[in-house]
Structure 1
Amino acid sequence: MFILADFIDSLKNLDSLFDLEEQVIRCLREMFQEIVSKYLIQLDETLVSQIPSDHTFINRQPRTINFMFGAVSFERRCYRKTDGTNYFPLDTHLKLASRKRFSPYFKSVVSKIGQMTTMRNTADMINLASQTDISAWAVDKIVREMADIVAVEEETLDKEIVHRKKVDNLVIEGDAFEVRERGKQRVSVHHYKVYESTNAGPVNKREFVETNHLKARKQVCDYLEAHYKLSEMVVFLASDAGPGYDPISMRELVPGAKKVEYVIDRYHFIRKFEQTIGLQNPLSRKATAAIRGHNLNQLAAILDTFESQITIGKDSEKLTKLRHYLSRNWKYIKRPKDRGYKYMGKLGSAESSHRAFTYRLKKQGKSWSKEGLQAMLVLILARVNSHLNQDLSSGLRRLRELKIEVSLESIKSIRFTDLNRKIRSHHIGVKIGNITVLIDNNPLIHQQVAP
């Protein structure tokens, strides 16, 4: 191709590696913008044969689409139907919505970044990488649009028929965390994990998050019923025994299981003692050791010692609540290995798994609308379950099938000198041109006024 020789020739006067890289990136962007523009124009030409004979050609109108390699401007034909409505065959063929200026792949990249950092940071990153101009508001709209696509794909995955299996190490963990909705109200996000525990770590992991607890529980139940032979299995349950995650509530997730082993999360169990006794109190470390050693007598003696140290009424009330908590949950403190299940790994990872969500949803004064929170949960959950790339690519391809056969001759003849011409700065959607102004009684009869 002519373009390669011309491009190499353009590098002769560069003074540094910085200039070289800058030139390469700029030229590649311009080259692909020109190629895709010609490509779309040719595609528009090939669609002419498919236009019904009673549809009237109106004109060619410009349009600009932002790709990750830059903005591509092109013209396509406009036709009028017999009912008087106008349409663009190329837009219809590509399923490009009216007044939308971002490509499907561009939007998928925006959504992948947007579920990891703020909308403003996402806009800054995209603008830097693609040399485009997208606002934080536009990023938010794209994130919500992509979340709807991902949600549909996730429903499709859940409906796939799979072979139900029997395993010896199925674990279900549950916990919740809070985020702030706009208006300074807090909302609970319910988080469940289903996985098969091994000494090397969890495998076949699937997570579920919902602001509606009943909906989250139903999703877990449906998944378990579709993938496992629960009536032939021992199922391990783990939680902090808080409201909605107590042993009875957790057992309701697997009513048909052959046997259920509930294990209370040691992290939360120990933290209850630390919050009551105090981290600075030497008794706190002794209590932790007694819990890890499953020594109830020693733990009771530590609580008696702490009671003798109490001087404030509130501490006495806390101790009474702690004793009740201990009596209710002590039987659940033993790990599966201590119960004879030698091949079970550690439980209680639900708390640490919150990090994938809370890092994006909390801190820095963040608050969410109901719709924005749901969209973000959908995208983050898809990433956590390793479905995000598949969901976005499958969903976007299904929406925009592209079957084309066009001539590449004009594309092959593109020269670098055509690309390297001086480019005027412009804004998306604004047509650049000159206006001829006729001024009477002026020696400059035809004066060109730049836009």
Structure 2
Amino acid sequence: MTGMRFDEKSFVVELEDKRKYDFLKRVETYDANIASAMRIAGYKRINQTERTVAFTFGEVTFSRSRWRKGNKTRCPVDEWLGLKKYMRFSPELVCHIAKMATAMSYRQVCHFVKEFYRLEITKDTVLKAVKQAGELLSEKEKFRFWLEEEPTKKINPKILYIEGDGVMVKSSDSARDDKRNVDLTHFLVHTGSKKITKNRYVLENKHEIIHTNYDKAKEGLLDYLYNHYDFTDETTLVTNSDNGKGYTKKVFQEIKKALGIKRHEHFWDPYHLHEKVKIFFKKYPVVLKELAFEAINSHKRELMKTVLDTVESLIADGDDEEYYNYFNFRRKILNNFKYTKPAKLRNLSSKGIGVMESQHRKITYRMKHRGMYWSLKGAYTMSRLIILDRINLVDDLFFGNWRKEYEYYQNQRLSVGYLREAKEQTIFKSRKIFQRAGKFTSLDRQKFKY
């Protein structure tokens, strides 16, 4: 005997209806239980009003009590649900939307939410969720020295790897007509790679810094290193870049001096180096390209000079453009040849070196091509969100304990000197704010006096 096929969609809808019913019961119970506490606090119940909000389990209309004390009006249920005035979407749903926006376009997010959450939203709703995430990032950046109850236990690495590169995305900022692209500065820090399966490795203690402002990105890199690492005479700094503007050895040398590290090994990123060699030798005999790679792999500068001299002899007289390209390539490859020395010839492992391009992909797959344009602020917010999403920290951005602490800090109207009407009792302890070169200044949060 055969019956009708199980209708999974109908079953899911039934479960959603049950969740909505359970939610309404919880709201009703909370509203009734909080009434006595509100009366004790001096509030008087005004009326019962309805509100419609979209949650992750569907759109729900619920009723709740409004209370007043003097000129102050409160809705305890709204506060319990984390709903501010005029909010039509729950904080959890906004967080989900922001997460989805890191992987797909805004219109695709709308389609996804309709298909799986059974909610109708517009691309403007997605944009507002991303903007809210941007505001939270800004608040957390201002509050970054207050985030930890205890000083972070510092890492003492034998080898510290730092890589830097830029990501160019198209700009739509009308105020920047003279510059059509946004250059995202991207730094990567880690302490080596760890094998987890036969052909898979993960970076240990990985941390990424990305910003639309180069100086702020570099400052963020130094702050992170000062606050999370201890360096000794045995520490080796390994850096890797394409030797472009802002990412030359000189830049990393400044970081090395600031950190007090003695040994520094800088690499010309193998991916970019090999691309340049392949493109340049494309129009010349294959044997010259093979010899050029042999010179790099064996680190023989004289062999590279011989190859380049041979190329020069093949350039036709009067071909100024080709000679100009040849001269620029020769100058760059010979001036930076010492940075092409393979890791094995420096008694170092090649694992963990030259990984920046793979770290770029999560940014480029979302923010480049497909006709996408970004404002300066939008590019910064989305790139930061993408990185946070990959390490599962978007929830902390929206709901972390730091928000309660920041709210208290913000409400106290912090100013220079003593804080007027400062709270005498607070759950938040005094901190130490770490600054450059391991120095710090104490901060008394009871009086907020530096």
TM-score range (shorter-chain normalised) is 0.7 to 0.9
**In structure 2, do the counterparts of structure 1 residues 374 and 249 end up closer, same or farther at CA, with 3 Å as the change threshold?**
same
Q: Distance in 2 between matches of 1:362 and 1:276?
A: 26
Which residue among 119, 122, 135 is the counterpart of 1:135? 122
Q: Tell me if the contact between 1:237 and 1:251 (Cα under 8 Å) persists in the aligned partners.
A: no
2:121 maps to amino acid:
I
**In structure 2, do the counterparts of structure 1 residues 289 and 162 end up closer, same or farther at CA, with 3 Å as the change threshold?**
same
Q: Distance in 1 between matches of 2:347 and 2:31?
A: 70
User: Which residue of structure 1 lines up, in the alignment, with residue 240 of structure 2?
Assistant: 238
**TM-score scaled by length of structure 2:** 0.78
- Is structure 2 residue 281 aligned with structure 1 residue 277? yes
1:378-436 deviations in Å (ceiling 9; x for gaps): 2112134443344445269959xxxxxxxxxxxxxxxxxxxxxxxxxxxxxxxxxxxxx
Of 224-233 and 364-373, more deviation after overlay is shown by 224-233
Identity %: 27
Q: CA RMSD in A?
A: 2.7
User: Which residue of structure 1 lines up, in the alignment, with residue 167 of structure 2?
Assistant: 177
Q: Distance in 2 between matches of 1:144 and 1:396?
A: 19
Of 71-80 and 272-281, more deviation after overlay is shown by 272-281
- CA shift for structure 1 position 126: 1.1
**In structure 2, do the counterparts of structure 1 residues 148 and 378 end up closer, same or farther at CA, with 3 Å as the change threshold?**
farther
**In structure 2, do the counterparts of structure 1 residues 382 and 73 end up closer, same or farther at CA, with 3 Å as the change threshold?**
same
Q: Distance in 2 between matches of 1:315 and 1:238?
A: 30
1:240-283 deviations in Å (ceiling 9; x for gaps): 11111111111112211122111111222222223333267513
1:340 maps to amino acid:
N
Q: Distance in 2 between matches of 1:104 and 1:126?
A: 15
User: Which residue of structure 2 lines up, in the alignment, with residue 16 of structure 1?
Assistant: 5
Which residue among 302, 309, 314 is the counterpart of 2:307? 302
**In structure 2, do the counterparts of structure 1 residues 126 and 225 end up closer, same or farther at CA, with 3 Å as the change threshold?**
same
**In structure 2, do the counterparts of structure 1 residues 187 and 62 end up closer, same or farther at CA, with 3 Å as the change threshold?**
same
User: Which residue of structure 1 lines up, in the alignment, with residue 185 of structure 2?
Assistant: 190
Q: Tell me if the contact between 1:150 and 1:392 (Cα under 8 Å) persists in the aligned partners.
A: no
Q: Distance in 2 between matches of 1:322 and 1:170?
A: 31
User: Which residue of structure 1 lines up, in the alignment, with residue 270 of structure 2?
Assistant: 266
1:68 maps to amino acid:
T
User: Which residue of structure 1 lines up, in the alignment, with residue 86 of structure 2?
Assistant: 99
Q: How does 1:216-255 map to 2 (within 5 A)?
A: 216-232=217-233, 233-255=235-257
User: Which residue of structure 2 lines up, in the alignment, with residue 210 of structure 1?
Assistant: 211
1:67-94 deviations in Å (ceiling 9; x for gaps): 22211211111234423x5442322343
- CA shift for structure 1 position 293: 2.8
**TM-score scaled by length of structure 1:** 0.78
Q: Tell me if the contact between 2:16 and 2:57 (Cα under 8 Å) persists in the aligned partners.
A: yes
> What secondary structure does 1:237 align onto?
strand
Q: Tell me if the contact between 2:182 and 2:376 (Cα under 8 Å) persists in the aligned partners.
A: no
Q: Distance in 2 between matches of 1:14 and 1:104?
A: 43
Q: Distance in 2 between matches of 1:329 and 1:70?
A: 60
1:163-211 deviations in Å (ceiling 9; x for gaps): 2232222110111111111047101101111111247443111111011
Of 25-34 and 223-232, more deviation after overlay is shown by 223-232
Which structure has the bigger radius of gyration? 1
Gaps of 5+ in 2: 196-200, 406-450
Q: How does 1:320-331 map to 2 (within 5 A)?
A: 320-331=327-338
Gaps of 5+ in 1: 1-12, 400-451
Q: Distance in 1 between matches of 2:24 and 2:284?
A: 69
User: Which residue of structure 2 lines up, in the alignment, with residue 415 of structure 1?
Assistant: none
Q: How does 1:79-158 map to 2 (within 5 A)?
A: 79-83=67-71, 86-149=73-136, 152=139, 155=144
> What secondary structure does 1:354 align onto?
helix
Q: How does 1:50-89 map to 2 (within 5 A)?
A: 50-52=37-39, 55-83=43-71, 86-89=73-76
> What secondary structure does 1:278 align onto?
helix
Of 92-101 and 309-318, more deviation after overlay is shown by 92-101
> Which structure would you say has the larger RCO, counting Cα contacts within 8 Å and 6 or more residues apart?
1
1:196 maps to amino acid:
T
User: Which residue of structure 1 lines up, in the alignment, with residue 363 of structure 2?
Assistant: 357
> What secondary structure does 2:351 align onto?
coil
User: Which residue of structure 2 lines up, in the alignment, with residue 447 of structure 1?
Assistant: none
